[in-house]
């Protein structure tokens, strides 16, 4: 007997042949061009946009810098790191004895804030190399200033820190945290975010889907119409709710407490996930992540979520919230999803105070870019 994703099969049976055929198809699709890589595809590095005194972090700058330092240290254990900051030398002094500096590069650039996931380039891999797609970031539907953050990708390309063909997509508003790719032509997103009238309100759902399909050479777009987190500024970014993982798996936030304000919406989200199918018509393997206990500041519940994890070349970093039982359970589940990678939890309580978490402040770049 052998095991594939926890299910036994007889070696040499029809089931075995079916699995081998599916794997071969997946390998062929993974090498097609152009394609939007999955996060678990080979990476060259990660971008962090560093907090400073002119950001919303000013009142807790030392605490959040400690958090960024821990992220930087973990990333550089595994791959390269690009740090964007108005004063790179100040950051260099801050991290010098804690981080592998031979893997760090800096971009001197003024910034509004730190959410690299949403202002970073989205990379499309093509036969002639990476294409760095620069979409408009408008502060999650005009909620916050983003004029400086919206220039970071162009500055990074001009400085030679991001390698690839720069592609101007500034006529369309899109944040990296709003989309998930499996690298094989499937994109997962939420209707609440992408259909926000303050993003691309001139387009309807069918037009937005067609734009995504043509831009990213997609074969299907899966729209989640349910799911939200209290305190979320992003209009339900997918990376806070449900994440595509290897082997046709979706990890998602599950709420089991009927008295929790999230219960109904997350239950409806779960029901919709059960209706989704892979490109070959199979249901996804659905793996629930625990719902953190409420994290509250000044009477406001914050959008703590274990779905906001970051995949690196040989590691997975995930947010923890000083909740030992929930934190450990989330880590164990992620280890089962990425068995060949080192899974490490990082305290993200400082980040959640500004309504984001670990994945939100990072942007990975595929091999050959950074």
Backbone angles phi, psi at 150, to 5 degrees: -70, -10
pLDDT in tens, 116-161: 999 999 999 999 999 999 999 999 999 999 999 999 999 999 999 9
Average pLDDT of the residues in 242-256: 98
Residue range 15-31: mean pLDDT, rounded: 42
What are 301's two structure tokens? Answer: 């519940």
* CA dihedral sign, ordered 254, 260, 262, 267: positive
Round to whole Å and give the CA distance between 68 and 109: 17
What per-residue confidence (pLDDT) applies to 241? 98
What is the structure's pLDDT at 31?
54
For 72-87, what is each residue's pLDDT tens digit?
A: 999 999 999 999 999 9
In sequence order, the 6+-apart residues with CB closer than 8 A to the CB of 333 are 251, 287, 288, 289, 290
> CB burial class (10 A; 0-12, 13-18, 19+) of residue 12?
exposed
pLDDT score, position 33: 74
33-366: in CATH 3.75.10.10: yes
pLDDT for 224 beyond 60: yes
**Locus of tokens 């206990």:** 293
Residue ranges per structural domain of the chain: 33-366
Mean pLDDT in residue range 46-72:
98
Average pLDDT for the chain: 92
CA nearest 101: which of 88, 117, 120, 113?
Answer: 88
């Amino acid at each position: 007997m052998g095991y594939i994703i926890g299910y036994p099969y007889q070696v040499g049976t029809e089931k075995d042949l079916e699995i081998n055929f599916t794997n071969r198809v997946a390998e062929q699709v993974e090498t097609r061009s152009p394609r939007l890589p999955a996060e678990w595809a080979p990476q060259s590095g990660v971008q962090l946009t560093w907090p400073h005194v002119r950001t919303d972090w000013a009142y807790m700058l030392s605490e959040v810098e400690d958090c960024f330092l821990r992220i930087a240290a973990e990333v550089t254990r595994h791959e390269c790191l690009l740090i964007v900051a108005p004063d790179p030398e100040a950051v260099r002094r801050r991290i010098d004895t804690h981080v592998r500096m031979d893997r760090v590069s800096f971009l001197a650039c003024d910034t509004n804030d730190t959410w690299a996931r949403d202002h970073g380039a989205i990379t499309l891999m093509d036969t002639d190399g990476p294409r760095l797609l620069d979409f408009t970031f408008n502060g999650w539907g005009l909620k916050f200033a983003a004029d400086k953050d919206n220039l970071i990708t162009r500055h990074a390309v001009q400085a030679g820190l991001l390698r690839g063909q720069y592609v101007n997509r500034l006529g369309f508003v899109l944040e990296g945290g709003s989309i998930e790719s499996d690298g094989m032509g499937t994109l997962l997103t939420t209707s609440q975010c992408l259909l926000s009238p303050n993003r691309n309100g001139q387009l309807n759902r069918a037009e937005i889907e067609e734009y995504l399909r043509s831009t990213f050479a997609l074969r299907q777009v899966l729209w989640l119409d349910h799911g939200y987190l209290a305190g979320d500024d992003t209009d339900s970014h997918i990376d806070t709710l449900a994440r595509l993982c290897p082997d046709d798996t979706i990890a998602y936030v599950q709420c089991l407490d009927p008295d929790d304000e999230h219960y109904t919406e997350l239950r409806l989200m779960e029901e919709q996930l059960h209706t989704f199918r892979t490109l070959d018509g199979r249901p996804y393997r659905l793996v629930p992540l625990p719902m953190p206990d409420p994290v509250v500041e000044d009477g406001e519940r914050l959008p703590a979520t274990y779905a906001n994890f970051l995949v690196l070349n040989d590691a997975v970093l995930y947010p923890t919230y000083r909740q030992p039982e929930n934190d450990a359970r989330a880590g164990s589940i992620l280890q089962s999803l990425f068995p060949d990678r080192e899974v490490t939890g990082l305290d993200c309580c400082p980040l959640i105070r500004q309504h984001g978490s670990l994945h939100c402040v990072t942007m990975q770049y595929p091999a050959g870019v950074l």
